[in-house]
Amino acid sequence: MAGMSWTAPEPPRIPDGPTQGPERPNIEGYLAYQRNTLLNICAGLTPEQLALRPIASTNLSLLGLVRHMAKVERVWFRIRAAGEPVELLFDQQLGDDTDFDAADAANAEHDFGVYVQECAAAVAAAAALDFDAEVPTRAEPWSLRMVHLHMIGEYARHNGHADLLRQAIDGVTDR
């Protein structure tokens, strides 16, 4: 349960680079920047604000996005890429949108902790693999490089959603 005065913490600022040099550090650095951006957009908000769905036409909330990204970090890097025997974060029988639909302010602090842990575990899992390692998908295998590129795209898309949600909640932009 979230503490009475807990707010989403301000993450340390990180650069979006390196911007030159070998491919892998560039791609990994940009994914780290995207992860940090999601946390930064949420920083300073209360659990109740994080759980708000301020845009009536969607089930999206900032907390739901954090839960969703924790889920996809685990699936892509730990389960698919590294083959770790860990369970999914959410019961699939509850549907694909459980990460969004079951976002509850009472669990915000816990959910943020899970997200941070999943990102760290994903980084560790990927570090042990070659960038050309085959990663099973529902169709043909991808390289670990492609998984990183996919995740950058996933974050870019959802960070855009997060920007709009944050602005609708308290008017804050440029996070």
2-32 residue pLDDT tens: 446 999 999 998 887 788 999 999 999 999 9
Residue 2: its pLDDT value, please? 46
Q: What is the pLDDT of residues 80-106, one digit of tens each?
A: 999 999 999 998 877 788 999 999 999
Is the domain defined by 27-170 classed in CATH 1.20.120.450?
yes
Tokens of 161: 């959603």
One-letter amino acid at 92 equals Q
Sequence ranges of the domains in the chain: 27-170
Per-residue burial over 128-160, b if 16 or more Cβ lie within 10 Å, else e, is ebebebebeeeeeebbbbebbebbbebbeebbe
User: What single letter denotes the amino acid at residue 46?
Assistant: T
| 14-23, 53-62, 129-138, 164-173: segment of lowest average pLDDT | 14-23
Band of the pLDDT at 175, cuts 50, 70, 90? confident
pLDDT value, residue 4: 62
Q: What distance in Å separates the CA atoms of residue 115 and residue 29, rounded to the nearest whole number? A: 18
